[in-house]
Each structure stands twice: as structure tokens, then as C-alpha cells.
Structure 1
Amino acid sequence: MTCATLAELAPHRTYETRDGTRLDVRSAFAEDEAALEAFFERVSDDDRRFRFLSAARHVGHDQLVPLTHCDHWRTESFLVFEHETGALVASAMLACDARMETGEIAVSIDGAYRGRGIGWAILDLLGEEARKRGLKKVISIEDRGNHAAIELERERGFVPHGIEGDPHLVLLEKRFD
């Protein structure tokens, strides 16, 4: 008998996207760092830049620690796997402020899985998690060049706002009133 890792024992949920793609979603843990590092190596340079708002070609340990060492309440990192293959296809994060009123979200999707409704499913999941925690709103900070993410978030009820002093970024906000 072998010992199961925490990640193997972690509860997961299954979602189905609008095109019928089945996804398994679970929290990320420390032992997921190598899988996340490999995932971010597969995404495009633009997708890495949009996710981390920097031009780093490699996502290393210092950037991965916040994604793999969460308190699972104030901050949660989700891994999204294709049900059939077990491939890691997306990473999503919800980071709440100290007063538990606002959560910032960030999402990355493997380019090979775009256009299958995964972004919609992840935004719904993050919204559900934010409401569970009693948040009043979630925000996303996007590079203005990330047209696909901005449009997707607008379709899911986010309202865009400019960020004073930074013409390259846009803040998108969804309230739970």
C-alpha cells in the first residue's frame, strides 16, 4: 500500500463546459509546483505576460509559491484538468483582501484548450467561491492587449474601469449585490 499525497486526497469537483468538455477542478498544493511550472512553460509568452503582468519567459519557484502554498480560504489556487486525459489545462486564483470584501482573480488557460468554454466555467467557479466567502465583489486586472479575457469577463458581468496613471491596464469588477 502506498501513501496518497495531499493533492490526491483533495476534494475535487467536476464541471462540464458548453461544448461538453468535462473538467476536474481541485485546490493546488505544494507538491503541484512542478506541474504548474510545466503548465506555464506550455502557455504562450503573451499568456504568461498577461497572467503575471511581466515579460518573464519562465515562471519559477518565487512566482509559484503563492499558487501552491495557500490558506485555502483567504487565498485559493485551483488547478483545472481535462477529465478524459488528466491534462492540466488551466490555473485559477482567488486572493481576498484582509476584510474579506474584495477578491482578485487571475486565470491562465492552455492555448490548445481555448474556445471550449473553460474560461466561462472557471469564472463561474471563482464567482461561486467568492460568494461562499461572503465577498462583495471580485476584480481582475488585465493588460489592455488581452482582448479575449476582457471580452470574456464582460460577457460574465464584469464592468471595466481604467486604472489612473496606467494606460496599459484595465480593472474589471463584478459586484455581488
Structure 2
Amino acid sequence: MTIPKAAVAAAIAQLFTRDGVMLDVRQASTDDEALLEAFFDDVSAEDRRFRFLAASTHIGHGQLVPLTDVDHWRTESYLAFEQQHGTLVASAMLACDARMDTGEIAVSVRTAYRGRGVGWAMLDLLAQEAEKRGLKRVISIEDRDNHAAIELEREKGFVAHGMEDDPHLVMLEKRFD
């Protein structure tokens, strides 16, 4: 789904990926539910499963509300648009615990933009935002089969830990000192 340039005007950051893709990033709002619904319909089934840790053919209202109805401090949701065409290419989220000690992050990238540095750029943005909020660490919960995300997060300084409750998941952690 392509977004009118006016909707991208509220960009909070412009990011360049290693592949030269220029992204306009803005905070998500409740008005973005239909946009995110269409985005997740266009993400591969495997990527949807990795993002939501459950098999789903469609991401609906119940799963989208936490991505759009956020307080913009403890929880923030970002949308990244490819600047040239205005296409939504990534969704990223930072959700902090009540003590503002730990934040959980998640990133989804449109299939056609995978491998072009979009995830890399969004992880950098999430880390910067976590540090601005004074968090001590960020974590990401990944399916062990999500090798691309695990490798990317390790390249960005995350350390992998097993999950005792679920051998199919791995927690990756990045500390800020």
C-alpha cells in the first residue's frame, strides 16, 4: 500500500540503509490500523509467524491495536516508508516494562525489502530510542528458526540466551552501559 506524501510528512527520522534505501520513519497512530493490516497481509506467512510467534493468515484488529494505540513513551510503534515511492516497508516496536528498565523490540520488514538494510536501520533506531528513555537493556524474543533476525541482532551486539519455558524460542539481549 502506498501512502500519500502528506501522511509521511510527520517523519521523525530519515534513515539510509546500507543498500541506499532512504526511509522516512514516523510514529504509528490509531489511524494506521488499516495501513498495518495491509502491510502484514503483504508480509510472508513465515515473517508473520516470526513477528507474532504464531501462525496466522491475517493480522486483525486485536493484534493491531497494541501497534497503533500506544502512549509514545513506554510503548512506541514506528512505521518506515521508502521515500521514493512512499511504500510502507517496515514496522518496528519498542515496549518497555513498568520500571523503564527493559524494553522488548520487534521489527517486521516487507519481503521485497529484506536483505537491503531496513531491519539493520530500524534496530539502530530502536536502540537509540531505548537509550533516550534510559533503559538498561533491550530484548528480542525470536523463533529459533528465524536465522536471519538472530544473525542480524548478533551483528548489532545482542547476546543470545535460551528460553527455559520454550525450547523453540531464543531471547536476544543488548545491554546499554
Give TM-score scaled by structure 2 length: 0.94
SS of 1:51's partner is: helix
Superposed counterparts of 1:153-172, under 5 Å: 153-172=153-172
Q: Is the 1:161–1:171 contact (alpha carbons within 8 Å) kept by the matching residues of 2?
A: yes
Q: Is the 1:7–1:28 contact (alpha carbons within 8 Å) kept by the matching residues of 2?
A: no
Q: What residue number does 2:130 align with?
A: 130
Q: What whole-Å deviation, never above 9, does each CA across 1:38-93 have from its counterpart, x for those lacking one? A: 00000111100000001111100000001000000000000010000000000000
Query: Partners in 2 of 1:67 and 1:163 — Cα distance?
Result: 25
Query: Partners in 2 of 1:23 and 1:40 — Cα distance?
Result: 18
For structure 1, list consecutive stretches of 5 or more residues without a partner in the other structure: 1-5
Superposed counterparts of 1:16-27, under 5 Å: 16-27=16-27
Q: Is the 1:104–1:139 contact (alpha carbons within 8 Å) kept by the matching residues of 2?
A: yes
Query: Partners in 1 of 2:93 and 2:102 — Cα distance?
Result: 13
Deviation, structure 1 residue 165: 2.5
Q: Is the 2:81–2:88 contact (alpha carbons within 8 Å) kept by the matching residues of 1?
A: yes
Query: Partners in 2 of 1:119 and 1:65 — Cα distance?
Result: 22
1:104 equivalenced with 2:104 (yes/no) = yes
The code of the aligned residue for 2:164 comes to: E
1:149 equivalenced with 2:149 (yes/no) = yes
The code of the aligned residue for 2:140 comes to: S
Superposed counterparts of 1:79-98, under 5 Å: 79-98=79-98
Q: What whole-Å deviation, never above 9, does each CA across 1:84-136 have from its counterpart, x for those lacking one? A: 00000000000000000000000100110011111110000000000000000
The code of the aligned residue for 1:121 comes to: A
Query: Partners in 2 of 1:93 and 1:28 — Cα distance?
Result: 10
4+ residue segments displaced more than 2 Å: 6-12
Deviation, structure 1 residue 13: 1.2
The code of the aligned residue for 1:128 comes to: Q
Query: Partners in 2 of 1:8 and 1:145 — Cα distance?
Result: 34
Query: Partners in 2 of 1:12 and 1:135 — Cα distance?
Result: 20
Q: Structure 1 residues 11, 116: CA separation in 2 closer, same or farther (over 3 Å shift)?
A: closer
Query: Partners in 2 of 1:97 and 1:27 — Cα distance?
Result: 19
What CA RMSD, in Å, does the superposition of the two structures yield over aligned residues? Answer: 1.3
Q: What residue number does 1:3 align with?
A: none
Identity %: 72
Query: Partners in 1 of 2:11 and 2:32 — Cα distance?
Result: 15
Q: Is the 1:7–1:29 contact (alpha carbons within 8 Å) kept by the matching residues of 2?
A: no
The code of the aligned residue for 1:23 comes to: L
Query: Partners in 2 of 1:69 and 1:48 — Cα distance?
Result: 20
Q: Is the 1:74–1:97 contact (alpha carbons within 8 Å) kept by the matching residues of 2?
A: yes
Q: What residue number does 1:38 align with?
A: 38
Q: Is the 2:8–2:81 contact (alpha carbons within 8 Å) kept by the matching residues of 1?
A: no
Query: Partners in 1 of 2:41 and 2:164 — Cα distance?
Result: 32
